[in-house]
Copies of this chain bind each other. A is one copy, B any other.
Amino acid sequence: MTAKKVTIEDVARQAGVGIATVSRAINNAEGISAKTRMRILRTIEELGFVPNTSAQSLKVRLTNQIALAVPDIRNAIIPDISWAVEQAAKAHGYRVVQINTAGNARAELEVVRDIKKLHVDGLIIMPLAYPKALPELIDKSGVPISVINYGKQLDDSLQADVVCLSILEGKLVMDHLQQIGRNRIAYAGTQKDVIEDRYLAYERALNRVDASLVYFGEDFSLQTGIRAADYFHGLAHMPDAVYAVNDMVAIGLVNRFKELGVRVPEDVAVVGVDNNQWTTISSPQISSVSIMGSEVARLAAELLLKRIREQTRGDYEKVQFEPRLIVRESSVSLKRSPMHGS
């Protein structure tokens, strides 16, 4: 079917030159006359020659691929991150191998431990489980790594560039809720240690945490929001505000509250994080924190590619974007001034 697999040698023979010359033509290298280059390129076209990427990689020890390990491509802002990484990679001639870890500790360790088997020049990882052994494995991986840090305080000694998706947004949310006069603020998220910083900011903002106002669900889905709403609704003394770990949970909450006859924001204010497009579609529109996922992802990719290009180790960047709170209907102030609106 396909012509017998044409190699650089066939091209050389056909064009009447040596294989080194053909190689130079392919790679736009120095030391070849414009005339022969043209002739060779024509021959390549004729024969339909495509350089064998495996042989190239074997020789130059670079694969032109990076790996992107995320928890789950189906969740929240991760598609945005994936998109941004691919755009950046493509601009530098790199391909992206996409890996879903499912937020599973073993999977996160495995991708770092076995990075050498992955045929990539570098790794961007967005951990969720943050297993204990991760920093150590990163240190000894021997491959450039960028970390997209989603809500965890990391040791500065980590041998990787780190771009933080979120650190300060918790404080932003809590300050806002307290400012609009709420004092029974609840938290709806997943386990305490997942996206830890968001929960910790909640704790820090309060003198004393009322355990009954903290709901930990299974994941960051709409379902978790719905269940959280049911839970809060069932309490003897309901919260007057909920800080949701992300927009999906916030939307689930708001919709379920509506069904239960709880008014948002009159009875309960709700704020999410991520600022995804659904926050403006939901009714009421939902206040959220923009964490600039695309920008973060692009930067993580650029840092990685720079490191691959320059072959540098050490002196790692630790970058943090400033999040922005966008106040919408779900958390407008009520006592402010009735004629002022939002």
Contacts and interface: CB of A to CB of B under 8 A. Distances in A.
B52 A58 contact: yes
A30 to B, nearest CB: 23
B2 A142 contact: yes
A80 interface: yes
A114 B61 CA distance: 22
B313 A1 contact: yes
B54 A58 contact: yes
A96 B86 CA distance: 13
B281 A258 contact: no
Interface stretch (A31-39, A115-123, A127-135, A320-328): A115-123
A73 interface: yes
A119 B283 contact: no
Contact of A142 (B1, B54, B281): B1
Nearest to A100: B86
A19 B82 CA distance: 41
A95 interface: yes
Contacts of A78: 79
Given A74-B79, A86-B99, A53 B117 contact: yes
Nearest to A95: B97
A201 interface: no
Contacts of A99: 86, 95
A277 B221 CA distance: 10
Interface string A35-71: 0000000000000001111110110000101001000
Kindly name the residue among A54, A100, A277 whose own CB sees the greatest number of chain B CB atoms within 10 A: A54
A313 B222 CA distance: 44
B95 A118 contact: yes
Contact of A119 (B2, B54, B100, B258): B54
Contacts of A116: 50
24 contacts: A1-B142, A1-B313, A50-B116, A53-B63, A53-B117, A53-B118, A54-B54, A54-B55, A55-B58, A57-B57, A58-B58, A63-B119, A72-B83, A73-B79, A73-B82, A78-B79, A86-B98, A95-B119, A119-B119, A222-B277, A222-B281, A255-B283, A258-B283, A283-B283
